[in-house]
Amino acid sequence: MTLEQLRMFVTVAELGSIANAAEVLHKTQPALSIAIKRFQQELQLTLLQKTANRLQLTDDGHRLLPHCRYLLRQAKDITALAAHLRDGHESTIEFAFDTICQQSTFFDAITTTQQHFPQTELYLTSVQRLGALQRLIDGKASIALTPWTHTFHELASFETLPFDRFEVIAVIHHQLVSSFASRPHSSSQLRDIPLLMPQAFDIDLDIQKVMGVVPHSTIRSNDTVSQKELLMRGAGWGYIPKKSVTDELTDGTLIPLQLDDVTSVIEGEIRLVRDKKQRKGPVASFLWQTLVNSKNQMVLPD
């Protein structure tokens, strides 16, 4: 069985005529008739039968036709993929992003890239705690979208572009606040309430130094969803991206803390990052430029 036999059978089945199929396939009618006959003999099945002036599929022919179409599509895809790879296009690329980033800022760029390079598999990897930058360092990701500080330049040779902003705030459930005579204004007043904080950062970073907090009691989670659920149950006070609790702050379920002895608000920038030493294939380069263009069209918050 050959792809050419499959193509001839599918064309005849769809057009219902040896003459019409021969014209489309640029073959003579006798040659096409012989080829179809040999194909049926090879399969030991009758796939087509003549009814009036038209060839009709038999039950076996109907059963076989979609499988033949599938194989022809697969062959076409293989040819396209081979051409794609010959042109130096990557077979796969990974875009890693920190969960603190607003995903709406890059979905259009991902979609546009896929439409331009359908043979490249695009992997979106969502990670917490600076894991996106770690995947870039490890050579797993081509591009990362991550919270950024200039000290990260010490970790590798990066090319970066400012992309967005983030804000992490200290909050507490309103029921916990009601146990105080007034709203707490220092971390020492919260000593008997667990501090909800990350288990760890993927890159060596001391969260206690960043926040200025030395907790007496802690509950550590490794994702923002768990952090929020614990806060909503009054399990303690903690730091969480402001955008993830906007509704709860608005309706008063969660109360922002203004503490005079520790950092209450952590603000910073989010950058688009890639490794200068990593090979920049055409697909990754296209995605980078598309992200840059989308960033230039964004209206960032004041």
**pLDDT for 153-212, tens place per residue?**
888 899 999 998 888 899 999 999 988 888 899 888 888 889 887 665 544 445 555 555
Beta strands 218-221; 158-173: pairing state: unpaired
Residue 14 burial (10 A CB sphere; 0-12, 13-18, 19+):
middle
CA 82 from chain centre, in angstroms, equals: 24
The dihedrals phi and psi of 283, each to the nearest 5 degrees, come to -75, -45
CA distances from 79 to 15, 67, 82, 209 (A): 25, 19, 5, 55
Which amino acid, 247?
Answer: D
Can you state the angle between helices 3-15 and 29-43, rounded to 10 degrees?
110
Around Cβ 222, how many Cβ atoms within 10 Å?
12
The pLDDT score that the predictor gives to residue 205 is 47
Dist CA 296 CA 302 (whole Å)? 15
Q: Which two tokens stand for residue 80?
A: 């396209």
Below-70 pLDDT ranges, the chain: 81, 84, 88, 198-215, 298-302
Give me the pLDDT at residue 301, please: 44
Q: According to the model, what pLDDT value does residue 300 have? A: 46
Q: Secondary structure of 150-196 in the HEC alphabet?
A: HHHHHCCCEEEEEEEEEEEEEEEEHHHHCCCCCCCCCHHHHCCCCEE
Asked if residues 3 and 77 have their Cβ atoms less than 8 Å apart, the reply is no
Give the C-alpha separation, 189 to 155, whole Å.
38
pLDDT at 200: 56
Model pLDDT, residue 156: 85
- Residues 81-102: tens digit of each pLDDT: 677 677 767 889 999 998 888 7
Closest by CA to 228, choosing from 216, 242, 210, 214, is: 242
Q: List beta partners, residue 195.
A: 218, 237
Looking at residue 204, what is its pLDDT?
A: 47
